[in-house]
Structure 1
Amino acid sequence: MRIAATLTKEGLISKLPDGPYIVIFDTEKKDAEKYDNPGFTLKEGRRSAVVDLFIDKKVDTVITIPESFCDISYGKAKSNGIRFIRLNESLPYEEVIENLPTYLNNATSDIPEEELFKRR
């Protein structure tokens, strides 16, 4: 299984376009790949650019916090079979990976409407 998250420079899980890095943890290989976040410097289509990377890199699950996905990026992820580990707040990535079995028990294929980003 390949599990992705957007990270801040400090290693905290952030909203899809807001962290400069994407980390993809492979549970079989027990290693992680790190990428520059393609949505970090964009002005538009930021979340979709991140989801395109997830699809390209064959990500199965995304660790997410509220307002990470918008309607478009969520629809794209969901239609490609991506599941979600929903956190209530930003947590250290290493802490989530260390306790991954617990978080995977709560993985879901849906994100509630109120957790999606809305343009203001």
Structure 2
Amino acid sequence: MAIAIVINDEGIVTPIVEGTVLRIIEKDGTAEDHRNPALDLTEGRRGATLRKAIELGATKFVAPPATFCELSYEKAQQEQVKFINIAANQTFTQVAQQIKSGAISASANLPADEVVSSAPVTI
């Protein structure tokens, strides 16, 4: 029942490919930080971080807008990961307090407009 959350060096919760730290919060409130595997890849970045979170026991994922693409979102749903949907630009401390107080909770789905296209961008 662990929760995965990606944060940047300033402690802001970020979409899955933007933060440097993949933090796993256990049910007892303890947390363990891991390097975000997305940092080392050019493609498959969201999927790599999702896989690592699942390997580390996460069953929930904190998801600001643009956290998941269509492919990683589908994979997360197949793995029965639940989503804690939050607004952008919140600190880890703010989100942790909201989770603890029950102000936000997990859901089986994300709003469709917050899941980004998995199609490669051509320039």
Do the structures match in fold with TM over 0.5?
A: yes
**Paired residues, number:** 117
Within 5 Å, which residues of 2 pair with 1:1-120?
1-28=1-28, 30-100=29-99, 101-104=102-105, 107-118=106-117, 119=119, 120=121
2:96 alignment partner, SS class: helix
Moved over 2 A (4+): none
Shift of 1:113: 2.1
Per-residue Cα deviation, 1:16-54 (whole angstroms, up to 9, x for no partner) = 0111110011122x2001000001231100000011111
Preserved contact between residue 20 and residue 35 of structure 2 (Cα < 8 Å) = yes
Where does structure 1 lack aligned partners over 5 or more consecutive residues? none
RMSD (Å), alpha carbons: 1.2
Q: Distance in 1 between matches of 2:89 and 2:44?
A: 22
What is the TM-score when the length of structure 1 is the normalising length? 0.91
Shift of 1:98: 1.8
2:77 alignment partner, SS class: helix
Preserved contact between residue 63 and residue 84 of structure 2 (Cα < 8 Å) = yes
Q: Distance in 2 between matches of 1:111 and 1:11?
A: 23
**Identical-residue share of aligned pairs (%):** 26
Shift of 1:66: 0.9
Where does structure 2 lack aligned partners over 5 or more consecutive residues? none
